[in-house]
């Protein structure tokens, strides 16, 4: 026993281990497992007790079972630790919680890595389902997913033939504009993403379009100097927000394409001793958990719910392949707090 645990070094026991312990050949062990009636009782019992002692399970069993059902759901996501992604993951984890499925996270940090995953995940096929967050997938890859029958749900993206959870980004921009106008602000700015990250979805532009549209419907326009598009990076948010605040004619209200950017504006405002919302009003987009703490007025896009729904859709389809695909649009709503 002691000797054995040393030779096994943390591996699972194999029939070789059982054979050694019971002093027979591996064939005999195999026979005990498969055709026990062909083995003399005495030998068989010796083998069986060795099996017990080692807590042996034929690896093939596990694998054979696994062929029907891996009990694994994968999530392919960029910016794995950014708050908005975490909240979606939280929703997914919650939906998977009481099920048999494990949650595997594939964190994507480059286009290469994304393509690597998309090449191998469907083929190696050790997943029952896949959730892809905020990642645009080209046809070649989505075809693969279908060909290999890997059930997939998209969040913040969609593709014919797949279920998806999305929001109406343009509508969000319109909502922001309407809200700010109705609150009485008269000049408007926008802080959004420059969107140079080619491999991930960037809804900032659509939000900007909606914002512009909403403003113009109300008779306002959005001058180019009041539009600040920046690469997504925490450090520079505050600086960039500053440029908007330091404009000769400071805008009365700023719509940020994300809460993190809105919070950056708040910080920049504080550094300049500007009062929010009196000197400058700020509205964000996301409604992160922290936004409540910040008293940030924002647009709730139900991040948690998006994850939970995606997982539920996935599980439903896995359980019953004939269930139709669904393309869900989550509602957006203004959460009025104290920054606008």
Per-residue tokens: 240 = 């960039």
Q: If contact means CB under 5 to 8 A according to the sort of partner, which of DNA, a second copy, none does residue 31 touch?
A: DNA
The two beta strands, 129-133 and 102-108, are unpaired
Q: 120 or 218: whose CB is closer to a second copy?
A: 120
| Min CB(81)–a second copy separation in Å | 4
Q: Which two tokens stand for residue 126?
A: 């050790």
Contact of 168 with 110, CB cutoff 8 Å: no
| CB-nearer residue toward DNA: 15 or 135 | 15
Where does 39-187 show beta strands of DSSP type E?
A: 72-78, 102-108, 129-133, 151-155, 163-166
- Least distance from a second copy to the Cβ atom of residue 263, Å: 5
Say how many CA atoms lie within 13 Å of 224 toward its Cβ.
0
Closer by beta carbon to a second copy, 66 or else 198: 66
Within 94-153, which residues bind DNA (CB under 7 A)? 100, 124
Residue 205 site contact among DNA, a second copy, none (CB < 5 to 8 Å, cut-off depends on kind): none
CB nearer a second copy, residue 35 or residue 182: 35
Phi, psi of 21 (to 5 degrees): -65, -40
Closest to DNA by CB, 67 or 275: 67
In terms of CB distance, is 11 or 275 closer to DNA?
11
**Cis peptide preceding 241, ω within 30 of 0:** no
**Which residues in 56-75 contact DNA (CB under 7 A)?**
56, 58-60, 62-63, 65-69, 71
Q: Which residues contact 49 (CB under 8 A, 6 or more apart)?
A: 22
Is 196 in contact with 261 (CB distance < 8 Å)?
Answer: no
Q: One symbol per residue from 299 to 338: x for binding DNA (CB under 7 A), - otherwise; what is it?
A: ----------------------------------------
Rounded Cα distance, 314 and 91, in Å: 13
- Residue 319: both structure tokens together: 């359980």
Q: Which does 25 bind (CB under 5 to 8 A by kind): DNA, a second copy, none?
A: DNA
Q: Which residues bind DNA (CB under 7 A)?
A: 11, 14-16, 23-31, 33-34, 38-40, 42-44, 56, 58-60, 62-63, 65-69, 71, 100, 124
């Amino acid at each position: 026993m002691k000797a054995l645990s040393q030779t096994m070094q943390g591996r699972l026991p194999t029939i070789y281990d059982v054979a050694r312990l019971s002093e027979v050949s591996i064939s005999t062990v195999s026979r005990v497992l498969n055709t026990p009636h062909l083995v003399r009782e005495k030998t068989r019992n010796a083998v069986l007790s060795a099996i017990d002692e080692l807590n042996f399970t034929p690896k093939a069993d596990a694998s054979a079972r696994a062929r029907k059902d891996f009990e694994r759901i994968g999530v392919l996501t960029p910016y794995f630790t950014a708050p908005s992604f975490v909240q979606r993951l939280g929703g997914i984890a919650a939906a998977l919680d009481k099920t048999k499925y494990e949650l595997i996270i594939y964190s994507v940090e480059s286009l290469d890595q994304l393509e690597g995953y998309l090449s191998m995940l469907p083929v190696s096929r050790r997943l029952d389902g896949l959730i892809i967050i905020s990642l645009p997938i080209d046809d070649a890859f989505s075809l693969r997913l279908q060909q290999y029958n890997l059930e997939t749900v998209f969040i913040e993206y969609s593709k014919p033939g797949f279920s998806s959870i999305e929001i109406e980004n343009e509508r969000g921009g319109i909502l922001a504009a309407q809200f700010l106008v109705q609150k009485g602000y008269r000049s408007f700015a926008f802080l959004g993403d420059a969107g140079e990250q080619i491999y991930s979805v960037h809804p900032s532009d659509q939000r900007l379009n909606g914002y512009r549209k909403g403003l113009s419907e109300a008779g306002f326009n959005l001058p180019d100097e009041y539009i600040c598009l920046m690469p997504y990076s925490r450090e520079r948010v505050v600086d960039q927000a500053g440029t908007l605040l330091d404009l000769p004619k400071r805008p009365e209200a700023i719509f940020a394409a994300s809460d993190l950017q809105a919070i950056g504006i708040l910080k920049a405002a504080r550094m300049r001793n500007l009062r929010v919302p009196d000197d400058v009003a700020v509205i964000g987009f996301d409604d992160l958990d922290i936004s409540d703490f910040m008293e940030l007025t924002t647009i709730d896009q139900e991040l948690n719910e998006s994850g939970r729904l995606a997982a539920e859709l996935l599980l439903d389809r896995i359980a019953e392949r004939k269930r139709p695909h669904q393309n869900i649009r989550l509602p957006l709503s203004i959460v009025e707090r104290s920054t606008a």
